[in-house]
């Protein structure tokens, strides 16, 4: 999946706008398709403003083909007016021109390589800065007696982050991550103590949130920078990017002690009466439900037969 905006993405955004869906939900739907949040927000703004929106077209580079002039055909076009010495002089003048046309673009290559190195260094330094701040925050949380516990919060498998050992359970009493209770008041502290430091930290483009990514486990954590709701997103379809993960979520998820898996279709999910599943108002494939103090979002983004993601929101 690429970051290009396709015609299908534009059609989906128009359908959701016609259905009067909120802009943040439309951006979320486009982000799950692999579109950068900033581009998705701009696409929605252009459609709302009545601008004509075209899908991205691949960049094509036309390289000049190397041609060789046929001396016989040149003589036929020019006739007998030119003499053989003149034609020889014309061939000598054309050789430097051909060498210039076929010369390798060293300056362009060096410039592009330098720009790529600068971008890579900027990204690397930004990630190191985020992780440094996160480590400091974890150290402060660990030293707080109100957050510290008796050692019951353990990472999966006891020694490292094992994707298959991660479990998320939701019931009327709340949320448990790997058996440890997670509440709104100690949301980030509980997650960091259970899963450890995330592998990626970045800011959402369309909302005032910070995304902590456990990308090898298919799990993302959304935290507001000021005020807002906390969220955990389980990605069953891996789609790398700001709003995606490198690997799919392979742990377990239970709601009211009933397991929900990637192959749990929409009809089976609707049979869980305790959820009170709300049908989507459009063709977005997003179902909403509530369990206790948390809101649940089930996304069937490709087909109603396969679950793409689960979002757990603390409002």
Residue 117 DSSP label? H
The answer to whether the pTM exceeds 0.85 is no
Average pLDDT over every residue of 224-234: 88
pLDDT at 266 over 70: yes
The answer to the question of residue 73 being in a domain is no
Q: Which domain holds residue 225?
A: 156-314
The answer to the question of residue 87 being in a domain is no
pLDDT on residue 52: 79
> 272, exposed or middle or buried, with CB in 10 Å at 0-12, 13-18, 19+?
middle
Assigned token pair, 226: 């000021």
Confidence of residue 42 (pLDDT cuts 50, 70, 90): confident
The answer to the question of residue 71 being in a domain is no
More confident residue, 24 or 210: 210
Backbone angles phi, psi at 225, to 5 degrees: -75, -30
The answer to the question of residue 37 being in a domain is yes
The answer to the question of residue 118 being in a domain is no
pLDDT at 181 over 70: yes
Confidence of residue 2 (pLDDT cuts 50, 70, 90): low
Please tell me the distance from the alpha carbon of residue 235 to that of residue 220, in angstroms, as a whole number.
8
Average pLDDT over every residue of 277-282: 78
Greatest mean pLDDT among 4-8, 95-99, 292-296 lies in 292-296
The answer to the question of residue 192 being in a domain is yes
pLDDT on residue 70: 54
Give the number of domains in the chain: 2
- The residue whose two tokens read 């440094």 is 132
pLDDT at 252 over 70: yes
Domain shared by 160 and 283, yes or no: yes
């Amino acid at each position: 999946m690429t970051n290009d905006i396709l015609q299908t993405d534009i059609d989906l955004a128009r359908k959701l706008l016609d259905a009067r869906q909120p802009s943040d939900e439309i951006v979320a739907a486009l982000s799950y398709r692999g579109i950068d949040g900033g581009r998705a927000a701009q696409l929605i703004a252009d459609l709302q403003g009545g601008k004509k929106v075209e899908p991205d077209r691949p960049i094509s580079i036309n390289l000049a083909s190397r041609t060789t002039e046929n001396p016989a055909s040149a003589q036929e076009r020019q006739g007998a007016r030119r003499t053989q010495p003149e034609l020889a002089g014309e061939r000598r003048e054309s050789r430097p021109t051909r060498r210039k046309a076929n010369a390798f673009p060293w300056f362009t290559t060096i410039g592009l390589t330098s720009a790529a190195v600068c971008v890579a260094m900027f990204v690397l330094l930004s990630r190191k800065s985020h992780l440094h701040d996160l480590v400091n925050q974890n150290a402060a949380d660990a030293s707080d007696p109100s957050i510290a516990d008796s050692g019951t919060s353990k990472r999966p498998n006891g020694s490292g982050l094992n994707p298959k050992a991660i479990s998320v359970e939701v019931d009327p009493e709340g949320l448990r991550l790997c058996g440890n209770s997670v509440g709104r008041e100690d949301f980030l502290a509980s997650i960091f103590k259970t899963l450890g430091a995330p592998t990626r930290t970045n800011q959402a483009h369309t909302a005032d949130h910070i995304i902590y990514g456990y990308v090898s486990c298919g799990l993302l954590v959304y935290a507001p920078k000021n005020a807002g709701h906390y969220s955990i997103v389980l990605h069953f379809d891996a789609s790398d990017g700001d709003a995606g993960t490198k690997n799919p979520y392979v742990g377990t998820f239970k709601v009211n002690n009933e397991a929900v898996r990637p192959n749990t279709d929409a009809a089976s999910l609707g049979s869980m009466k305790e959820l009170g599943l709300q049908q989507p108002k459009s063709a977005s494939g997003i179902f909403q439900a509530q369990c206790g103090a948390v809101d649940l979002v089930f996304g069937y983004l490709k087909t109603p037969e396969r679950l793409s993601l689960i979002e757990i929101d603390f409002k």
